[in-house]
Amino acid sequence: CFPGTRVEILERIDSWIGNSSDRVLWIRGMAGRGKSTIASTVLHSWRCRASCAMFHFRRGQNTLNSRIVCALARQLATSLVPEVKNAVLDSVRENEDIADQRLKEQFETLFVAPLTRLDNQAHPILIIVDALDECDNFNDAIDFVRLIDQHSAAFAANVKFLLTSRPEAPLIRAIEPRKWHSEDLDTIPDVTNDLERFIHHAFRQIRDSDPDVPKDWPSSEDVERLVEMSQGLFQWARTAIMY
C-alpha cells in the first residue's frame, strides 16, 4: 500500500496476526478495492517477523493453480525459523511423491502433519492466499476452504491463513457459514483521504519527471473529480493516472 494509506485495516490485520486466536481472516471486495495490494503489504511487513508464504491465483493458469499447496510449503521450507523449516522438509522427505497427490493429501501432508507438530511458537506462521476467486476450478477453491476449516482448530493459534477474494457467490456460500474473521472492503465507509494522498503523490511524480509539466497541475478541482470518479477503487485511480 502507498505509505499513509489503509492504515486502519492494516492495523487490524496486524492485531489479528499478533494477538487474535482466530486462525483465518477473509478479506473480500469487488475488483479494484486493493485486496492484492493489502495482502502484499502484509507479507512485506511480516516477512522478517514471521514464517511467511504467499500464493496468488491467476485465471487461465490452471497448471500453476494446481500447485498451490506445494508452492506454499516450498516457501515455508525456506523459513529462517529452524522448527518450521525442518518440520516441512521432514514431511517432504517422508512423502517424495507428494507433488503427484490430490489436494487433500497435499494439504494434510505439507500443512497439517508438520504444523500441528509445532509448539505454539512465539512468532506467527502466516499463509496468504490471494485472489481465491481466480482459481480456474471453483471446486478446488472450495475444497481448499473446506480443508482449512476442517483442520484449522488443530493448528496452534499462531498459524494464520489470510485469504482474499471477490465476493463470488460460490465462495460466499462456502466461507460465510464458517464465521471466520473477515474484512469487507466494499463496506469500509470512506477511503477519500487515502485516494487523495495516492493521487497527489502520483501527480507529483509526473511533475518531477517532466519539467514541462506546470507545477500547479493538476488543480484541486481535478483531483477532487478523480477521487469522486474512482468511487473508492484504487485500481481505477491508478489506471486513470497512467493514461
pLDDT > 70? residue 63: no
Sorted by where each begins, the domain ranges of the chain are 7-187, 192-242
Out of 21-25, 90-94, 157-161, 207-211, least confident range:
207-211
Mean pLDDT of 161-171: 92
pLDDT of the residue at 136:
86
- For the stretch 86-119, pLDDT in tens is 999 999 899 889 989 999 999 999 999 999 888 7
Out of 30-44, 69-83, 135-149, 224-238, least confident range:
224-238
Angstrom CA distances, 25 to 103, 126, 153, 159, stand at 21, 11, 14, 11
| Residues 199 and 226: beta-carbon distance below 8 Å | yes
| Percent of the chain scoring above 70 in pLDDT | 93
Q: Which helix (H) or strand (E) holds 165?
A: strand 159-165
pTM of the predicted model, to two decimals? 0.80
Adjacent-strand bridge partners of 161: 24, 127
pLDDT > 60? residue 239: yes
| Residues 65 and 140: beta-carbon distance below 8 Å | yes
pLDDT > 60? residue 142: yes
What's the CATH fold of domain 7-187? Rossmann fold (3.40.50)
Q: For residue 166, what pLDDT band results from cuts at 50, 70 and 90?
A: very high
**61 grid coordinates:** 493458469
Q: For residue 163, what pLDDT band results from cuts at 50, 70 and 90?
A: very high
